[in-house]
Amino acid sequence: MSLRGAIEPDGATHVRWRGRRLVYFGGCDYYRLAQHPTLLKAHSRAAARDGLGTGASRMTTGNHPSHSELESALVKFFGSETATVVGNGYLANLALGQAAAGRFDAAFIDERAHMSLRDAAQFLDCPVVRYRHCDADDLTERISPRRAAKRLVVMADGVFGATGRIAPLAGLAKRLPRSATLWIDEAHGAGVLGDRLRGTAEHCGLANRRVIQSVVFSKALGSFGGAILGPRWLRSALFDGNHVVTGSSSLPSGLAKATLASLGLLRARPGLAKRLRRNIAFVKERLLAAGVPAGDTAFPVFSLECPGKKASALRRRLLATGIYPSCIRYPTGSDGAFYRFAISSEHSCAQLELLVAALSGYSCD
């Protein structure tokens, strides 16, 4: 996979590419908080005081007060028993896998789970079985021969970020024994789904289930880093010689403070989420009515697979409309390249209408 041509952000909803200023429906910054003045100010103040990095792990001299402050805020925001901050989202799943080694008798993982979940499963020290993508019936069949196993874990993305598909967590949970654990990668759902923006677990009504969540700060929260949300035994395991926590530098305080500011904004300004949901409905309802497969109307992402010449035709159509053509290849189990579109709270009505006009009536079949 080769690198794409570089693009340069130009405001909240545009990029500069090959000398052109184009409307941008790519990425995962669903509220465009990465450029929000409140986050930038929080980051710059902390960086000026503490430097750009900690230079050490949390187990040595890299445990900054901002880490505990952020963890307390995450516990309050997500309603979890504990939160443990790590350097980035990918590492969060790896650390979780290492911490959970020996805790489960069998693991079941969605065949299109994020690479970090698949890598993390290798640490679990138990059989790992793949089930068909978002297929609760297939999960039941896979579990059936292992019903005697008392400690089961099911691993899945809460939202599959390449396509915007929301995992059927309620349906999956119904097929599991009460003692089973759901391990949810909340990279995309956190901050977007649920009445309190707690992610797909809240969106699917899993308040009374055994749930472990990994979250990232680089999507809806507009910052960078990751965290693990779960029971007390998990936090203890993470600080008891865990290779990721012990062997990697901790999150810079500037990013911790920026994430704190982001959590505060989402709580203090509910209009952000309302505007995002309004924009999602505006685009997706019109596209679905026009026969375009825009996916679940609860989430701001959808993708279109366009084989061969169709892909080139859609690229030309988007560029002619003034939209950056986000055609990507991603190892999710999908064949070939596809166009991925992400709606934000900051896109204007005119920009949303531009996208609808570019895609309405267009078929990738």
pLDDT of 11 reads 93
pLDDT of 334 reads 53
Q: Is the pLDDT of residue 332 over 70?
A: no
Q: Specify whether the CB–CB gap between 344 and 29 falls below 8 A.
A: yes
Task: Indicate if 298 and 331 belong to the same structural domain.
Answer: yes
The secondary structure of the chain in percent helix, strand, coil, rounded to multiples of 5, reads 40, 20, 45
Q: What is the rounded CA–CA span in Å between residue 131 and residue 110?
A: 5
Please report how many Cα atoms fall inside a 13 Å half-sphere around the Cα of residue 307, on the Cβ side: 3
pLDDT of 254 reads 98
Q: Is the pLDDT of residue 258 over 50?
A: yes
Task: Indicate if 206 and 245 belong to the same structural domain.
Answer: yes
pLDDT of 274 reads 98
Instruction: Dump pLDDT digits (tens) for 347-360.
Output: 999 999 999 999 99
Task: Indicate if 121 and 215 belong to the same structural domain.
Answer: yes
User: Would you give the end-to-end CA distance of the chain in angstroms?
Assistant: 25
Q: What is the rounded CA–CA span in Å between residue 228 and residue 234?
A: 9
pLDDT of 1 reads 42
Q: What is the rounded CA–CA span in Å between residue 211 and residue 156?
A: 11
For residue 364, tell me if it sits in a domain.
Answer: no
For residue 285, tell me if it sits in a domain.
Answer: yes
If 0-12 CB within 10 Å is exposed, 13-18 middle and 19+ buried, where does residue 345 land? buried
**Which of 238-252, 302-316, 332-346 ranks highest by mean pLDDT?**
238-252
Instruction: Dump pLDDT digits (tens) for 184-243.
Output: 999 999 999 999 999 999 999 998 789 999 999 999 999 999 999 999 999 999 999 999
Task: Indicate if 144 and 229 belong to the same structural domain.
Answer: yes
Q: Is the pLDDT of residue 3 over 60?
A: no
Task: Indicate if 112 and 252 belong to the same structural domain.
Answer: yes
181 to each of 12, 89, 272, how far by Cα in Å? 39, 20, 32
For residue 354, tell me if it sits in a domain.
Answer: yes
Q: Quick one: which of 109, 184, 105, 103 has its CA closest to 145? A: 105
Task: Indicate if 260 and 249 belong to the same structural domain.
Answer: yes
Structural domain containing residue 257: 37-268
pLDDT of 363 reads 75
Which of 233, 268, 303 is where one domain is finished? 268
Which of 227, 253, 268 is where one domain is finished? 268
Task: Indicate if 57 and 105 belong to the same structural domain.
Answer: yes
pTM comes to 0.94
Core vs surface per residue 263-285: b (16+ CB within 10 A) or e: bebbeeeeebbebbbebbebbbe
Q: What is the rounded CA–CA span in Å between residue 171 and residue 238?
A: 30
Q: In the chain, how many domains are there? A: 2
Return the bridge partners of 121, or none.
Answer: none
Instruction: Dump pLDDT digits (tens) for 50-102.
Output: 999 999 999 999 999 999 999 999 999 999 999 999 999 999 999 999 999 99
Q: Is the pLDDT of residue 333 over 70?
A: no
Task: Indicate if 218 and 294 belong to the same structural domain.
Answer: no
Looking at residues 106-121, what average pLDDT do you find? Answer: 97
Which of 268, 292, 324 is where one domain is finished? 268
Q: Which residue has the higher pLDDT, 331 or 349?
A: 349
Task: Indicate if 291 and 242 belong to the same structural domain.
Answer: no
pLDDT of 319 reads 96
Q: How far from the centroid of its chain's Cα atoms is residue 339's Cα?
A: 18
Q: What is the CATH number of the domain that holds 243?
A: 3.40.640.10
pLDDT of 2 reads 47
Instruction: Dump pLDDT digits (tens) for 144-198.
Output: 988 778 899 999 999 999 999 999 999 999 999 889 999 999 999 999 999 999 9
Q: What is the rounded CA–CA span in Å between residue 190 and residue 186?
A: 5
Q: In three state form, how does the secondary structure of 214-273 look?
A: EEECCCCCCCCCEEEEECHHHHHHHCCCCHHHHHCCCCCHHHHHHHHHHHHHHHHCCHHH
Looking at residues 319-333, what average pLDDT do you find? Answer: 82
Cα torsion through 188, 192, 193, 198, rounded to 10: 90
pLDDT of 139 reads 97
Task: Indicate if 228 and 246 belong to the same structural domain.
Answer: yes
For residue 198, tell me if it sits in a domain.
Answer: yes
Q: What angle do CA 324, 157, 363 make, to 5 degrees?
A: 40
pLDDT of 207 reads 82
Instruction: Dump pLDDT digits (tens) for 22-55.
Output: 999 999 999 999 999 999 999 999 999 999 999 9
For residue 316, tell me if it sits in a domain.
Answer: yes
Task: Indicate if 148 and 290 belong to the same structural domain.
Answer: no
Q: Is the pLDDT of residue 256 over 90?
A: yes
For residue 84, tell me if it sits in a domain.
Answer: yes
Looking at residues 268-282, what average pLDDT do you find? Answer: 98
> The tokens of 278 are what?
């309004």
